[in-house]
Structure 1
Amino acid sequence: MTASRSIVIERRLAYPPDRVWRALTEGALIAQWLMANDFRAEVGHRFTFKAKPMGDWDGTVQCEVLACELHRLLRYSWVGGVASNQTYGSRLDSTVTFTLTPVEGGTHLKMEHAGFRSPQNDAAYDAMGSGWGRIAQGIERVLATL
């Protein structure tokens, strides 16, 4: 049986949930902290992210909105990479979930990227572990401009 790991990032943000929601669900804003995309906050919407190509992988991440509860929860699939890449860019079939909880003075944001299989996704897990931390800082920068 293959083990599965998750990356979890939590932040207390000094912004209300509706403002955080905008940063997570408006395509132009997502592009500022993550990647170019064609995202829409609608369950069933299929969209893509474009990352830097690596090896045989063209850099496209195929996604689908799995859950969308206004100002509270956003979950989408995250599928990318190719089987021929043995390290970064290896096939990854995972999910990303953002949970927003109102707290005094702002919002508690929890992000979980789940489904990293070991050993085939170890390189992606290591790279994205620190990457999601930087991305969370990017979300905060975008929030400061809204």
Structure 2
Amino acid sequence: MTTNDDLTKIEVDQYFPHPPTKLWRALTEPELMAQWLMPNDFQPAVGHKFTFHSRPVAKTRFSGRIACQVLELLPQKRLRISWGDADDSDGAKTTVTWTIQPEGKGTRLFIEHAGFDPDDPTQQLARKIMNGGWRSHVLRQLSELLQYLP
């Protein structure tokens, strides 16, 4: 995992001892995505709009619903989506990109969550919270799921 001092984004780099096809399934099958990230109505099609559902976070004014759209889908390589609070049309609009790269007998996953305003204290608090979430909770859940996928 890498650290990053760029206040506009979060970058995570994680190796998984699983083939790219297995990781791609976890990134693009809605029922699998719900197990490691959040419940959703995702479909792997560019332009598809969908919503993630989570717990609200009062101190960042997060509603618990994330409005997203599939921006890029390169099978077995990259998934990029828009990401913003569904109930806050004036809030941060960011993007999340998952890039997978075969490495040895496994796969390296690069996550970039970009578009945070470095001068907005609420966005920086959200960035700090999500940075910890991506690195601990999300990657742990994904790793556990991958162990049991055929």
For Structure 1 versus Structure 2, the TM-score category normalised by the shorter chain is: 0.7 to 0.9
Q: Assess if the C-alpha contact under 8 Å between 2:41 and 2:52 holds in 1.
A: yes
Unpaired stretches in structure 2, ≥5 consecutive residues: 1-5
The residue aligned with 1:41 is: 44
- Root-mean-square deviation over aligned CA pairs: 1.8
Percent same amino acid at aligned positions? Answer: 38
User: Contact conserved, 2:7 with 2:124, CA < 8 A, in 1?
Assistant: no
Q: Does 1:24 align with 2:30?
A: no
Matched length: 138
TM-score (normalizing by structure 1): 0.88
Structure with bigger strand share is: 1
1:7-41 alpha-carbon deviations (Å, 9 max, x no partner): 01111111111100011111111111111100111
Q: TM-score, normalised by structure 2?
A: 0.85
What is the SS of the residue equivalent to 2:11? strand
> Is contact 1:26-1:40 (8 Å) kept?
yes
1:24–1:30 CA contact under 8 A, matched in 2: yes
Return the offset for 1:103.
Answer: 1.1
SS in structure 1 at match of 2:47: coil
Residue 87 of structure 1 is matched in structure 2 by: none
The question of 1:74 aligning with 2:76 is answered: no
1:125: which partner in 2?
Answer: 127
